């Protein structure tokens, strides 16, 4: 499935690593399966163990520098912290700590830690997928292995490329705001107003870029058939082995938690 101007894997787009050699559709399916399963796990221990195992596997499988993984964790860590604080302060139960109107409950902390660990788990799996998956290979694999249409796969490629470029766009917009503040005699961007301005600018830039991408794809015959695949992305034995290992580890951790009597499901949400 190739269109004018689109070639196979871009040279240097993704660093070579054991995880980068695996089929993108298989990796995406595993990410979705694990995320779906842990949605029904609400004890703190199980997702925490899975997160530590996933973090070690992503670090070894992508060969990413520790600083890269740490920086990529930032948004997930902030969201996990927010989830923990909200649940600790809002859920009824046995009081663990209280100061005036603020009250932390044991049940709130347990649910909050479980949801926070689940957030970090899904986050580190997403980080591993992004660091090890080339956009063109993902598009080709989804068309060839998952049997998705050309319009869907090209749309995924466009969104994937924009997602990869967002950190650079964010840095550029933040620097532009800082320069403008210096030229106007200010003391540099500070506070929520600056953050809201950067977010709004990034949204506008992304919408305009998406519109240009759509026009470019339509002008190049998006949706015309039949199409051929220049560089097929195959599902190999190593891909099946990866799936077996990931699902096997997931099943073992769940079974171990159940045997220890710590595994909890959605029932933990009700007092």
pTM, full prediction: 0.77
**Based on the domain organization, do 174 and 124 belong to the same domain?**
no
Q: What are phi and psi for residue 145, nearest 5 degrees?
A: -95, -40
Give the structural domain span for 193.
Answer: 149-231
Please count the structural domains in the chain.
2
Read off the pLDDT of residues 222-264 as tens digits, 9 standing for 90 and up.
Answer: 666 666 666 788 899 999 999 999 999 999 999 999 999 999 9
- Establish if 1 belongs to a structural domain: no
> Are 25 and 71 members of one domain?
yes
The CA-based dihedral angle spanning residues 84, 88, 90, 92, taken in that order and rounded to the nearest 10 degrees? 140
Residues 113 and 168 grouped into a single domain: no
Do 105 and 45 share a structural domain? yes
Exposed / middle / buried, residue 217 (Cβ in 10 Å: 0-12, 13-18, 19+): buried
Residue 87 lies in a domain: yes
Tell me, yes or no, whether 101 and 221 share the same domain. no
Do residues 19 and 65 share a domain? yes
Quick: pLDDT tens for 34-85.
999 999 999 999 999 999 999 999 999 999 999 999 988 988 999 999 999 9
Asked whether residue 8 is assigned to any structural domain, the reply reads no
Judgement on whether residues 246 and 213 belong to the same structural domain of the protein: no
Structural domain contains residue 10: no
Q: Is residue 124 a part of any domain in this protein? A: yes
205 shares a domain with 141: no
């Amino acid at each position: 499935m190739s269109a004018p101007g689109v070639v196979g894997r871009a040279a240097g787009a993704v660093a070579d690593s054991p995880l980068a050699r695996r089929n993108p559709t298989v990796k995406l399916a595993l990410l979705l399966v694990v995320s779906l399963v842990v949605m029904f796990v609400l004890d703190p221990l199980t997702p925490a163990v899975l997160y530590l195992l996933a973090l070690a596997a992503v670090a070894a499988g992508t060969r990413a520098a520790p600083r890269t993984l740490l920086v990529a964790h930032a948004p997930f860590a902030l969201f996990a912290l927010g989830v923990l604080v909200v649940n600790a302060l809002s859920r009824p139960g046995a009081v663990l700590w209280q100061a005036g109107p603020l009250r932390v409950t044991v049940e709130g902390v347990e649910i909050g830690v479980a949801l926070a660990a689940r957030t970090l788990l899904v986050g580190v799996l997403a980080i591993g997928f992004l660091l090890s998956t080339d956009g063109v290979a993902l598009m080709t694999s989804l068309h060839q292995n998952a049997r998705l249409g050309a319009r869907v796969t090209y749309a995924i490629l466009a969104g994937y490329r924009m997602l990869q470029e967002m950190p650079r766009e964010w840095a550029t917009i933040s620097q532009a705001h800082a320069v403008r503040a210096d030229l106007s005699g200010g003391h540099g961007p500070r506070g929520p107003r600056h953050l809201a301005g950067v977010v709004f600018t990034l949204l506008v830039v992304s919408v305009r870029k998406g519109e240009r991408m759509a026009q470019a794809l339509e002008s190049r015959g998006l949706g015309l058939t039949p199409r051929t695949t220049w560089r097929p992305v195959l599902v190999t034995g190593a891909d099946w082995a990866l799936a077996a290992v990931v699902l096997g580890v997931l099943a073992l951790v769940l079974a171990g938690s159940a045997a220890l009597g710590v595994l909890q499901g959605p029932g933990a949400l009700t007092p």
